[in-house]
Amino acid sequence: MTERYVLVTGGFGFVGSYLVERLLKDDGTRIHVVDSLVSSPIDVGSFTRKLGNPARLTYDLIPIEAYWQKGEPRPRFDEIYHLASIVGPVGVLEHAGRIVKQITEDTYRMVEMAKADRARLCDVSTSEVYGGGRDGYCAEGDSKIIPPVVSVRLEYAVAKLACEVALINTARVSDLYAVIIRPFNIAGPRQSGRGGFVLPRFIDQALKNAPLTVYGTGKSIRAFTHVADVADGIVRALRKGTRGEVYNIGNPANKVHILELAERVIRISGTSSRPEFVDPKSIFGPLFEEANDKYPDSDRAMRELEWRPQFDLDEIIRQTLEYIKAGRRD
């Protein structure tokens, strides 16, 4: 049995909570979560009760900066999964102008901790770094495109990209063992509509028999990946991935236009709602920017990490619908 001490930043977030559940399946793994709860979609008490309040799971409900300032004594970690971040197409807006500072400073703190502990570090970046790729198709070796429109969304993307570059170079000039993953659109139970994510928003609207608000023409391309598949990809990347390497984590089989996603939600939920085309700036103001088209080439993760996403899009919609309908927060 491998004994491991693991740090998960943002471990009570949407993705982080699935990562915690995944890590708890490994006997001998102890997990420490650092999460300020600033955008956590769960009720921590309900979540930990559902897990059986395992003694192997401990936490500090504070920002990374405060955890960093606490200094020693703290555990020596073998693995660090860095997920805590400002997120979401709407979630980022209130942080305009401070996103680069927050994301880069927190990532540097995790790099220093990983170096001090000789821990393996997985940095969770984003597919937004591609800036639209080749008409939405994004492979790890592709050039990154900086779109001409300076938006809050761009600030998030360039902050994540700056961290990637710094991590790769640090792994070259020191003994830091770091890998980076670029998730594409993640979806599933526990995702909150608050950050502006599309599937929980459509489901909320469907449950109220209200119009499903589709931005623009509805032709934006996305590929949705079940959050449990993403959590599995993150663990595989850290344990099996090549040092200094980047892995797309996204399910190309779930590629879809947003209008088709709306139609699938309507069919699966049995709602009387219909799609309604809107300009998102009329709802969220001029700072809002839609993401570029994006869908992944995930061959590298499938080949090198033996990552195999399990959930198709209809199953993701069904599970998320049941969770939201039941009003759960665990």
Ligand X SMILES: NC(=O)c1ccc[n+]([C@@H]2O[C@H](COP(=O)([O-])OP(=O)(O)OC[C@H]3O[C@@H](n4cnc5c(N)ncnc54)[C@H](O)[C@@H]3O)[C@@H](O)[C@H]2O)c1
- With tokens 């309900």, the residue in question is 46
Q: Between 12 and 323, name the residue whose CB sits nearer to ligand X.
A: 12
Edge to edge, what strands does the sheet with 120-124 contain? 57-60, 29-34, 4-9, 79-82, 120-124, 177-183, 246-249
Least distance between ligand X and beta carbon 195 (Å): 6
Question: Rounded distance, CA 266 to CA 200, Å?
Answer: 13
Nearer to ligand X, 228 or 271 (CB): 228
Six token digits for residue 78 = 């073998």
Q: Which of 133, 183, 193, 200 binds ligand X (CB under 6 A)?
A: 183
Taking the C-alpha atoms of residue 186 and residue 197, their distance in angstroms, rounded to an integer, is 9
* CA dihedral sign of residues 36, 90, 214, 204: positive
Number of residues that bind ligand X (CB under 6 A): 27
Report yes or no: 24 and 52 within 8 Å, Cβ to Cβ.
no
Q: How far is the CB of 221 from ligand X (least distance, A)?
A: 15
CA distances from 72 to 68, 69, 75, 76, 100 (A): 9, 9, 8, 10, 27
Touching ligand X, residues 88-107 (CB under 6 A):
106
47 binds ligand X (CB under 6 A): no
Which among 28-36, 146-154, 278-286, 297-305 is the span making contact with ligand X, rule CB under 6 A?
Answer: 28-36
Binding to ligand X (CB under 6 A) within 128-157 occurs at none
Q: Which of 36, 48, 107, 298 binds ligand X (CB under 6 A)?
A: 36
- How many of the other CB atoms lie within 10 Å of CB of 119? 22
Residue 77 binds ligand X, judged by CB under 6 A: no
Applying CB under 6 A, does 12 fall inside the site for ligand X?
yes
- Examine residue 185 and tell whether it contacts ligand X (CB under 6 A): yes
Least Å distance, CB 84 to ligand X, is 3
Name residue 4's beta-bridge partners. Answer: 29
Nearer to ligand X by Cβ, of 273 and 291: the residue is 291
Q: Which residue has the tokens 């600033």?
A: 38
Rule CB under 6 A: is residue 296 a binding residue for ligand X?
Answer: no
Tokens, residue 141: 């070796």
Give me the least distance between CB of 63 and ligand X, in Å please.
Answer: 4
Q: Which of 6, 8, 40, 288 binds ligand X (CB under 6 A)?
A: 40
Q: What is the spatial distance between Cα 229 and Cα 310, in angstroms, rounded to a whole number?
A: 7
Give the residue, chosen from 30, 57, 81, 85, that forms a contact with ligand X under the rule CB under 6 A.
Answer: 85
Interface residue with ligand X, options 20, 31, 44, 84 (CB under 6 A): 84
CA-nearest of 152, 159, 134, 153 to 144 is 134
What are the residues facing 221 on neighbouring strands? 257
C-alpha 199/C-alpha 51 separation (Å) is 26
Q: Which is nearer to ligand X, 186 or 324 (CB)?
A: 186
Name the minimum Å distance from CB 209 to ligand X.
Answer: 27
Q: What is the dihedral of CA 283, 214, 161, 230, to 10 degrees?
A: 120
Binding site for ligand X (CB under 6 A): 9-10, 12-16, 34-41, 63-64, 83-85, 87, 106, 124, 126, 183, 185-186
